[in-house]
Amino acid sequence: MALKALDIYKLLPKKNCKECGDPTCLTFAMKLASGKGDIDKCPYLDLNAKNILGASTRPPIQLVKIGVGERRFAVGEEFVVFRHEKTFYHPPGIMFQVSDLWPAEKIESVTRRVGSEHFVRVGTDLTFSGVAITNESGDPDVFSKAVGVVEATGTHIPEVLMAADPVVQEEGLKKCGNFRPLIYSATKDTYKPMCALAKKFGSPLVVSAKDLESLGEMTKLCNAEGITDLLLDLSFPSLRDYVPAATEIRQKSISRSAPELGYPIFLDTTRYEMQDTALVLGIDKYAGVIVTPALGPASSVATLTLRQNIYTDPQKPIQMNPGIYPVGNPGKESPVLLTVNFSLTYFTVQGYLESSRVPCYMFIVDTEGLSVLTAVAAGKLNETLVRDSIKKFDLENLVSHRRIIIPGYASPLSGKIEEETGWKVLVGPRDAAEIGDYLLKEWKI
């Protein structure tokens, strides 16, 4: 169980030597208690204290970094079971699988795709994370060549080397071991040589076993070999076992009742027929690294969007900067549509306005990211805000008319806005999908 700062303090030398970088032993203890400190920074800890503190002061789920350079990513270091309790921090890396049996051009094209493909959603760039090279040939040279093909593309994307045989694994690592590829995987039979490779190349390592108990034993064995950058392989024969196992790991690692399970989760979805189902379960429920075949266009965007959704901080509404946003090429007589600065509202309305082909101005007022419904209910969207925003963004000089369209859900405010601003208020539809029709029918100058 987690120790409180004072319990930790009792185990520290209480010298206040500052060698750990903190001003006092107590502040260092507080850092450790919050999971943000590193006990190795204290040079005077005795072994016993180290053992007690070791398991309970590191983050409940180990942070593991994969790859180097711009595209590197980190997984683990999560603190909650449900995203609403705080947030999830490290979205899973999604790796496209390539086989060493494929012709070089095919490996190259998947690698280049991951290197360059990106989708922009809600102002954020979304990309897949890397490639997983599988050793299907069983031949060390063929594997090494395939890794070489990936490296030669110069895309510098993170890699998973999937070779069960340590001899084959080493041949791959010789090609890319400097770039922190993820090694897949160590079993009860291979953990010693695999740990030696992980140590030699400074790479993180996946451990595989038949159930959670054996996985816990494996991490202890690897720890004893000096390896702590580990992932737990949950690609069990039946996909049915994934959510229960992933949930149990998350619960037990967060509560620190099983520190040996406090590592990110690895899921190889290529083992299952139901590709999309496996992806959804992995993203929703705690996966750190997911291997998938290169996805088609439909699953690609849906996968990246779901990952973005689940890893959005639920406590921070995504906000737009308040202001005036033109759609098309609006002029002095174009309609002005008021809405809130909740970015989903903005992007939804903008999408419909664009397809309506009516040039217009979107007039975005600052409701601190609240949606229309909530902003009206909370009084954040009110006549004073509208009046002040008209002044602030100089709407009077932008258009020659004095009419403003407000969202249907803000209709209770229409009278007050008219009184306060002197502008005529038109109440638009409640549903953004109807905005195009509305403009065509109702907007006449």
Partner 1 sequence: MAENSPDLGGKIGYVVLGATKAEDGTRSVSYRLGGESDLPFIGMKTSLGSIPLVAFEICDDPSYWSPIVTSYTGDLVSDTPEWATAAEQQYGADLVRLYLTSTKRRGFDDFPSITKVTEEVLSGTGLPLVVEGSNEPAIDSEIFQRCGEAGQGERLLLGTAEAGRYRSVAAAAMAYNHSVVAQSPIDINLAKQLNILLREIGVKADHIMIDPYTGSLGYGFEYSYSVMERIRYAALKGDTDLAMPMIASAMDSLSVKEVREADPVIRDDIAVAWEFYAALSSAVAGASIVCVRHPKTVPLLKLAFRELWAGKKPGEF
- What is the contact surface with partner 1 in residues (CB under 8 A)? 82-84, 121-122, 211-212, 236, 239-241, 243-245, 247-248, 251, 274, 276-277, 280-281, 284-285, 296-299, 301-303, 305-306, 308-310, 312, 314, 344, 347-348, 351, 355, 373-374, 433
The type of residue at 10 is K
CB of 269 to partner 1, least distance (A): 13
Distance CA 178, CA 175 (A): 8
Judge whether 190 and 164 are in contact, CB under 8 Å: yes
Radius of gyration over alpha carbons of the chain, in Å?
27
| Rounded (to 5) percent helix, strand, coil in the chain | 45, 15, 40
Q: Which is nearer to partner 1, 32 or 353 (CB)?
A: 353
Q: Which is nearer to partner 1, 145 or 430 (CB)?
A: 430
Q: Which is nearer to partner 1, 185 or 303 (CB)?
A: 303
Q: Which is nearer to partner 1, 52 or 301 (CB)?
A: 301
CB of 85 to partner 1, least distance (A): 9
Among candidate residues 337, 403, 396, the one with its CA nearest the CA of residue 372: 337
CB of 182 to partner 1, least distance (A): 24
Q: Which is nearer to partner 1, 276 or 388 (CB)?
A: 276
Q: What stretch of H or E contains 56?
A: helix 47-57
Q: Residues 362, 365, 366, 372: is their CA dihedral positive or negative?
A: negative
CB of 240 to partner 1, least distance (A): 6
CB of 262 to partner 1, least distance (A): 17
CB of 299 to partner 1, least distance (A): 6
Phi, psi of 206 (to 5 degrees): -90, 140
Q: Which residue has the tokens 């306005």?
A: 353
8-state DSSP, 177: G
Q: Which is nearer to partner 1, 178 or 355 (CB)?
A: 355
CB of 158 to partner 1, least distance (A): 24
Q: Which is nearer to partner 1, 36 or 240 (CB)?
A: 240
Q: Which is nearer to partner 1, 51 or 247 (CB)?
A: 247
CB of 359 to partner 1, least distance (A): 18
Distance CA 429, CA 432 (A): 7
Q: Which is nearer to partner 1, 39 or 295 (CB)?
A: 295
128-162 residues labelled b (16+ CB within 10 A) or e (exposed) = bbbbbbbbebeebebbbbbbebbeebebbbbbbbb
The angle formed by the CA atoms of residues 433, 436 and 442, to the nearest 5 degrees, is 125
Distance CA 76, CA 65 (A): 9
CB of 442 to partner 1, least distance (A): 14
Q: Which is nearer to partner 1, 87 or 223 (CB)?
A: 87
The angle formed by the CA atoms of residues 36, 38 and 43, to the nearest 5 degrees, is 150
CB of 348 to partner 1, least distance (A): 6
The type of residue at 132 is A
Among candidate residues 16, 22, 19, the one with its CA nearest the CA of residue 37: 22
Q: Which is nearer to partner 1, 28 or 242 (CB)?
A: 242
The type of residue at 229 is D
SS3 per residue for 195-261: HHHHHHHCCCEEECCCCHHHHHHHHHHHHHCCCCCEEEECCCCCHHHHHHHHHHHHHHHHCCCCHHH
Give Cβ neighbours of residue 122 (< 8 Å, ≥ 6 apart): 308, 318, 343, 344, 347
CB of 208 to partner 1, least distance (A): 15
